[in-house]
């Protein structure tokens, strides 16, 4: 669909002079009085009065507004692109409006034809976000802009307050003077509206799916808030494997198996897929075993258990592998702990890290890999930590010779012996309080196995 043509429809050459160049059109060279009736008047008889129908193209680019001047409402004609206002002519002339159309920067930079812009996805978002084409129309659409802003905030996880930032609004205003500032509450509602819209679309898709597999995971945040995420996996009409997060909710304590089961059942009912679940994958926590049994019993009662329940509860393969590797790592737990503490020692101080890097360069080792900390519940992170430590094995040894505070075992034993000597002296002190303090401290060191090695 083409955007409205600016000049008179009988002149094809004038179109370029309006949009593409700054040269005046032929109509401007005519006498003002001759141009006054360029509206192609159509006269109708209505109650004995002649009425002019506005058929000139200029009226597609201007709108009538009321402006308060000297406490009096005055009718003006406002450009839809730059919002500049002109006084309304009593005779209906359009010469002034046409001159403005030749000079309006925003109007001249409007596309001649309505088109589509496809935003290519970045590598990080490829195959994750579907980029819908954005329509470029001939007029500003505030509702469409708010919809796009809401999707931008959702995809990039921006805060709602971003739309109230000064320079963000300056940018939007520069792109289009018609842009009006949006509050964080408004954009929040737009995000919820976008969520509901996408949810309804997905519901329609899932209606045509025969079987759905679920994966569920529960965890507790640093703020001790329990969360549960539920993901649906299915094959679409084009035989492509799809996955969608259908629930990301706060889980009410206590996080028992029945609580997890109820939360999953409620989600399935909300999406209308309670009769389409074929399998559910959970980790090996005991509460998940209870949840799986409860869900299976519910499906059995309604005769909706697929494959006779043989594959209903699938144990998370990654979690099983992690448990297996963790059992093997227990055999070298002391060595791993020493390396973990050494890495923490360096990462606590930028100065230590800098000195560590300088030593590595002196020994001809690359510093691009860096030291890596691990998460004790994830074996692959422990592997990365050990792999990096092995790469910098010589650096650890050389650093220990330069830093007197580096916690190596030989220095630790000497310092512990000094502590034992002081405690032994104070254990025979004449001071009652010092004698008792030394005895308690010595017992604590014996209990943790420190003094036994001295």
201 contacts 223 by C-beta, under 8 angstroms = no
- Give the DSSP letter of residue 90: T
Q: Tens of pLDDT along 123-162?
A: 444 444 444 555 455 567 888 889 999 999 999 999 999 9
**Token pair for 8:** 């008179």
Alpha helices (H) along 305-378: 317-329, 333-347, 350-362
Of residues 446 and 45, more confidently modeled: 446
* pTM summary value: 0.56
Say if CB 138 and CB 3 are below 8 A apart.
yes
Non-local CB neighbours of 327 within 8 Å, separated by 6+ positions = none
State both tokens at 395: 């650096």
User: Does the pLDDT of residue 34 top 80, yes or no?
Assistant: no
Residue-range domain boundaries for the chain: 14-108, 115-202, 208-315, 330-407, 410-453
Highest mean pLDDT among 20-29, 73-82, 129-138, 310-319: 310-319
Q: Show the tokens assigned to 388.
A: 């990096």
| Contact present, 163 and 184 (Cβ < 8 Å) | yes
Terminal Cα distance for the chain, rounded: 89
Those residues whose C-beta lies under 8 Å from the C-beta of residue 180, and which sit 6 or more positions away, are 142
CA 301 from chain centre, in angstroms, equals 41
What tokens were used for 105?
Answer: 């920067």
User: What band does 13 get if pLDDT is binned at 50, 70 and 90?
Assistant: very low
Out of 13-17, 292-296, 444-448, give the one with best mean pLDDT. Answer: 292-296
234-289 pLDDT, tens digit each: 999 899 999 999 999 999 888 899 999 999 999 999 999 999 999 999 998 899 99
**Closest alpha carbon to 100 in 115, 79, 117:** 79
Reduced to 3 states (helix: H, G, I; strand: E, B; else coil), residue 452 is helix
Contacts of 355 (CB under 8 A, 6+ apart): 399, 402, 403
Strand blocks (E) in 80-235: 85-87, 115-117, 134-136, 212-220, 226-235
Q: Does residue 432 or residue 52 have the better pLDDT?
A: 432
The pLDDT of 29-35, averaged and rounded, is: 42
**Among 239, 110, 241, which Cα is nearest to 176's?**
110
With beta carbons less than 8 A apart as the criterion, state whether 193 and 123 touch: no
d(CA 128, CA 112): 33
Taking residues 399-426, report their average pLDDT.
Answer: 73
Q: In terms of C-beta density within 10 A (0-12 exposed, 13-18 middle, 19 or more buried), how is residue 187 classed?
A: buried
Name the residue among 238, 237, 220, 218 with its Cα closest to residue 228: 218
- Please say if the pLDDT value at position 50 is more than 90: no
On whether the 208-315 domain is CATH 3.30.420, my answer is yes
């Amino acid at each position: 669909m083409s955007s409205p043509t600016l000049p008179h429809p009988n002149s094809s050459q004038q179109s370029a002079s309006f949009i593409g160049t700054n040269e005046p059109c032929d109509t401007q060279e005519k006498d003002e009085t001759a141009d006054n009736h360029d509206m192609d008047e159509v006269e109708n008889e209505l109650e004995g009065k002649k009425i002019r129908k506005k058929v000139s193209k200029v009226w597609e680019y201007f709108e009538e507004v009321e402006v308060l001047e000297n406490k009096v409402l005055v009718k003006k004609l406002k450009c839809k692109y730059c919002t500049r206002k002109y006084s309304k002519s009593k005779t209906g002339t359009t010469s002034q409006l046409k001159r403005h159309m030749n000079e309006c920067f925003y109007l001249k930079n409007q596309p001649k034809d309505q088109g589509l812009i496809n935003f290519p996805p970045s590598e990080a978002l490829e195959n994750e976000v579907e980029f819908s084409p954005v329509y470029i129309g001939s007029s500003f659409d505030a509702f469409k802009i708010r919809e796009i802003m809401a999707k931008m905030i959702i995809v990039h996880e921006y805060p709602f307050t971003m739309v109230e930032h000064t320079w963000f609004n300056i940018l939007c205003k520069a792109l289009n003077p018609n842009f009006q500032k949006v509050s964080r509450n408004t954009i929040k509602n737009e995000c919820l509206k976008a969520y509901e819209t996408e949810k309804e679309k997905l519901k329609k898709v899932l209606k045509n799916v025969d079987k759905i597999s679920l994966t569920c995971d529960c965890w507790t945040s640093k703020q001790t808030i329990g969360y549960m995420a539920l993901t649906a996996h299915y094959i679409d009409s084009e035989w492509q494997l799809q996955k969608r997060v259908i629930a990301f909710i706060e889980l009410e304590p206590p996080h028992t198996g029945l609580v997890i089961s109820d939360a999953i059942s409620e989600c399935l009912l909300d999406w209308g897929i309670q009769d389409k679940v074929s399998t559910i994958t959970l980790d090996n926590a005991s509460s998940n075993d209870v949840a799986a049994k409860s869900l299976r019993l519910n499906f059995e009662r309604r005769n909706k258990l697929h494959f006779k329940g043989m594959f209903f509860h699938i144990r998370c393969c990654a979690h099983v592998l992690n448990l297996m590797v963790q059992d093997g790592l227990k055999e070298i737990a002391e060595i791993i702990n020493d390396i973990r503490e050494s890495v923490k020692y360096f990462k606590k101080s930028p100065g230590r890290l800098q000195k560590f890097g300088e030593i590595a360069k002196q020994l001809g080792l690359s510093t691009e890999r860096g030291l890596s900390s691990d998460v004790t519940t994830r074996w692959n992170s422990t592997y990365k930590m050990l792999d990096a430590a092995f790469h910098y094995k010589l650096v650890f040894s050389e650093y220990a010779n330069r830093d007197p505070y580096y916690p190596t075992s030989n220095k630790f034993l000497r310092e512990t012996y000094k502590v034992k000597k002081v405690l032994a002296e104070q254990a025979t002190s004449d001071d009652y309080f010092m004698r008792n303090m030394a005895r308690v401290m010595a017992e604590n060191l014996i209990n943790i196995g420190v003094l036994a090695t001295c």
